[in-house]
Amino acid sequence: MNKDASPLASDFRDAIPTADRKTGDRIWIYPRQPQGRFYRWRSWVAWILLAILAVGPFIKINGAPLLMMNIPARKFALFGQVFWPQDLYIFALLLLTIFVMIVLFTAVFGRVWCGWLCPQTIFMEMVFRKIEYGLEGDAHEQRALDAAPWTRAKWIKKGAKHAIFFGLSFLIGNWLLTYIIGIDAWWALVTDNPMRHLQGLAAMIGFSLLFYGIFARFREQACTFICPYGRFQSVLLDNDSIVVAYDHRRGEPQQRFRKDQPYEARKAAGIGDCINCRLCVEVCPTGIDIRNGTQMECVNCTACIDACDGVMDRLSFPRGLIRYASQRNISEGLRFRVTARMVIYSTILLLLSGVLVVILATRSNVETQLLRAPGALFTELPDNEIGNIYMVKIANKTMRDIPLALSIEWPDGAHIRTSEPEIRAARDGITQTAVVLAAPRMLFKHGNLPIAVGVYQDGQRIRTLKVNLIGPQTT
Ligand code: SF4
Ligand code: SF4
């Protein structure tokens, strides 16, 4: 615990609580295990999210994964919609929409994402930390164990903890991989000869070591140093944002609790409700003192709310000395109000979401192109016809084969010469086939003939492709 963190420390912003002010060495945080309603609710949310994360790779919609971020192959899937590199603009728009949503949520609800939904917090506080409490005990026991000499019992405890941590990190690394390459490719990776999948194997080992390093050692530093979101906080929050906050008007001036001084007497003497028990500091996983005000390190995990509510309950003081509240609510007693910033962000969010919905609703899962065969000129065909060889290129973004048919829309007399009446567009890939577009010689004007080719799926025209046939120079 950082003993420097104190409500009296006016220079608390000059240093981070996890670094020694003189040497800069890491100060290891031993947070007490929180207890209380928020911790229970957060645990439930975490179990639900972990369950979704666990079953996510097995869920497929129309054969496509629920979520896939195949960065090496530049393929993404979201709710069964597959995005290819040519759809990158949709993905960029989606990311922009999510970004605005996070900005809006932060402006209104502070870092609710960090405390309740962020995978780092969920794994750290709800999985790894709970295992640590189970094996090594609460904060004071962990501190004592670390300070104790290396006995057999300590080796066993530490060994078991780190073995479990690495095993879990291996699991998480593998699960992340299923969201990157898909469950089928992952299954092939783990069941096939590993020498044939060196890249995948390297990713698996790399992720496992990375997660082990983060959850066993790096911990809260990931939120403080690596995550840019915490740093953005200072520009995203304002006095109307609801954050985990200490009610300094109610809490100050602090004074130790005296049994002979009931609440009313304390109030009458002008003493605040904070008894400076420091429990809110002791439970904080980032080592800060919320009584100093909103700080970048605060991940809004609510542990200090639970700790303080527990103290208030024991003393029969009203709960909520630390609570979800805006600065304006605390300083002026004003209730939540909609600000101009919230209205502007919401409008932008609505506009972006609207554009996204329209693009997704009108987007085709099949893209077709008609390209002249490289280097090919026209061919003289029987019956005084001229033929041009074209390549049909079909990108099928779905997870099922799709039969397509081509038909000339105009001009009359032009037709397609192909051995197969339909083209089978292979699932999740690009199909290419050659066709001969033919037309009577008399239709060509100055060696050109514009034609339109319809692409049909299940009898419905899904696209019209226009190309220019070349032919002999007739008038
Ligand atoms: S837990 Fe509550 S009473 Fe105790 S120090 Fe923190 S704010 Fe004050
Ligand atoms: S100050 Fe409170 S809400 Fe913020 S990180 Fe610490 S315990 Fe969590």
Q: Where are the alpha helices (DSSP H) in 8-57?
A: 37-55
Q: Are 431 and 401 in contact (CB under 8 A)?
A: no
Nearest ligand to the CA atom of 243: 2
Nearest ligand to the CA atom of 245: 2
Residue 243: the pLDDT is 93
What distance lies between CA 255 and its chain's CA centroid? 44
Mean pLDDT of 363-391: 87
| Least confident among 179-193, 237-251, 263-277 | 179-193
Q: Are 73 and 65 in contact (CB under 8 A)?
A: no
Q: Which atom of ligand 1 is nearest to the CA of 276?
A: 5
Nearest ligand to the CA atom of 322: 1
- Calpha distance 304→302 (Å, rounded): 5
Tell me the CA–centroid distance for residue 52 and ligand 2, in Å. Answer: 26
The 10 Å CB-count burial string (b at 16+, else e) for 27-42 is: bebbbbbbebebbeeb
Nearest-CA residue for ligand 1 atom 1 is 308
- Is 384 exposed, middle or buried, given 0-12, 13-18 or 19+ CB atoms closer than 10 A? exposed
Residue 159: the pLDDT is 96
When pLDDT is cut at 50, 70 and 90, the band that residue 110 belongs to is: confident
- Alpha-carbon dihedral angle through residues 101, 102, 103, 109, given to the nearest 10 degrees: 110
Residue with tokens 């000499």: 149
Say what the pTM is: 0.81
Tell me the CA–centroid distance for residue 251 and ligand 1, in Å. Answer: 8
Mean pLDDT of 184-197: 84
- Calpha distance 445→469 (Å, rounded): 10
CA-closest candidate to residue 116, choices 209, 44, 199: 44
Tell me the domain boundaries of the chain: 1-61+110-332, 366-470
Nearest ligand to the CA atom of 311: 1
**E strand intervals along 153-247:** 243-246
**pLDDT digits over 87-101, tens only?**
888 888 888 888 888
Sheet of 81-83, strands arranged across: 67-70, 75-78, 81-83
Mean pLDDT of 120-138: 96
Write out the two tokens for 58: 């097995």
Flag whether pLDDT at 195 surpasses 90.
Answer: no
CA-closest candidate to residue 110, choices 350, 305, 353: 305
**pLDDT digits over 158-174, tens only?**
999 999 999 999 999 99
Q: Which atom of ligand 1 is nearest to the CA of 273?
A: 3
DSSP H or E run through 452: strand 448-457
- Three-state DSSP class for residue 84: coil
Distance (Å) of CA 380 to CA 245, 261, 413, 418: 83, 108, 16, 16
283 lines ligand 2 (CB under 6 A): yes
Write the DSSP string, 261-284.
S-HHHHHHTT--S-----HHHHT-
Flag whether pLDDT at 474 surpasses 70.
Answer: no
Residue with tokens 């409700």: 273
CA angle 136, 140, 143 (to 5 degrees): 70
- Calpha distance 199→416 (Å, rounded): 45
Q: What is the largest CA-CA distance in the chain?
A: 114
What distance lies between CA 166 and its chain's CA centroid? 23
Tell me the CA–centroid distance for residue 264 and ligand 1, in Å. Answer: 18
- Calpha distance 27→18 (Å, rounded): 5
List, in order, residues 6 or more apart from 119 with CB less than 8 Å away: 53
CA-closest candidate to residue 180, choices 21, 71, 336, 90: 71
**pLDDT digits over 378-401, tens only?**
888 888 899 999 999 999 888 888
Nearest ligand to the CA atom of 2: 2
Nearest ligand to the CA atom of 223: 2
Nearest-CA residue for ligand 2 atom 6 is 284
The residue that leads in pLDDT, 84 or 147, is 147
Q: Are 32 and 283 in contact (CB under 8 A)?
A: yes
Mean pLDDT of 434-453: 91
Residue 7: the pLDDT is 45
Flag whether pLDDT at 5 surpasses 50.
Answer: no
Mutate to test the pocket of ligand 2, among 288, 311, 324 (most ligand atoms within 8 A of CB): 288
Backbone angles phi, psi at 462, to 5 degrees: -105, -15
Residue 181: the pLDDT is 86
How high does pLDDT run on average in the chain? 88
Residue 118: the pLDDT is 93
When pLDDT is cut at 50, 70 and 90, the band that residue 10 belongs to is: low
- Calpha distance 414→408 (Å, rounded): 7
Q: CATH number for the 366-470 domain, one of 3.60.21.10, 3.40.50.300, 1.10.3720.10, 2.60.40.2310?
A: 2.60.40.2310
What distance lies between CA 445 and its chain's CA centroid? 57
Q: Are 307 and 283 in contact (CB under 8 A)?
A: yes
Nearest-CA residue for ligand 1 atom 8 is 274
When pLDDT is cut at 50, 70 and 90, the band that residue 104 belongs to is: confident
299 lines ligand 2 (CB under 6 A): yes
Mean pLDDT of 72-81: 78
- Calpha distance 77→397 (Å, rounded): 10
Residue 6: the pLDDT is 44
- Is 399 exposed, middle or buried, given 0-12, 13-18 or 19+ CB atoms closer than 10 A? middle
Mean pLDDT of 314-328: 94
**E strand intervals along 164-295:** 243-246
- Calpha distance 125→300 (Å, rounded): 12
- Calpha distance 158→144 (Å, rounded): 13
Q: Which atom of ligand 2 is nearest to the CA of 322?
A: 2
Mutate to test the pocket of ligand 2, among 302, 306, 311, 324 (most ligand atoms within 8 A of CB): 302
Tell me the CA–centroid distance for residue 275 and ligand 1, in Å. Answer: 6
Nearest-CA residue for ligand 2 atom 8 is 301
When pLDDT is cut at 50, 70 and 90, the band that residue 1 belongs to is: very low
114 lines ligand 2 (CB under 6 A): no
Q: Which atom of ligand 1 is nearest to the CA of 279?
A: 1
Write the DSSP string, 106-123.
HHHHSSHIIIII-HHHII
Write out the two tokens for 129: 């930390």
Q: Are 20 and 138 in contact (CB under 8 A)?
A: no
Tell me the CA–centroid distance for residue 313 and ligand 1, in Å. Answer: 12
Within 10 angstroms of residue 373's Cβ, the number of other Cβ atoms is: 13
Mutate to test the pocket of ligand 2, among 116, 243, 300 (most ligand atoms within 8 A of CB): 300
**pLDDT digits over 231-266, tens only?**
887 788 888 889 999 999 999 999 999 988 889 999
Mean pLDDT of 355-362: 86
Q: Which atom of ligand 2 is nearest to the CA of 302?
A: 3
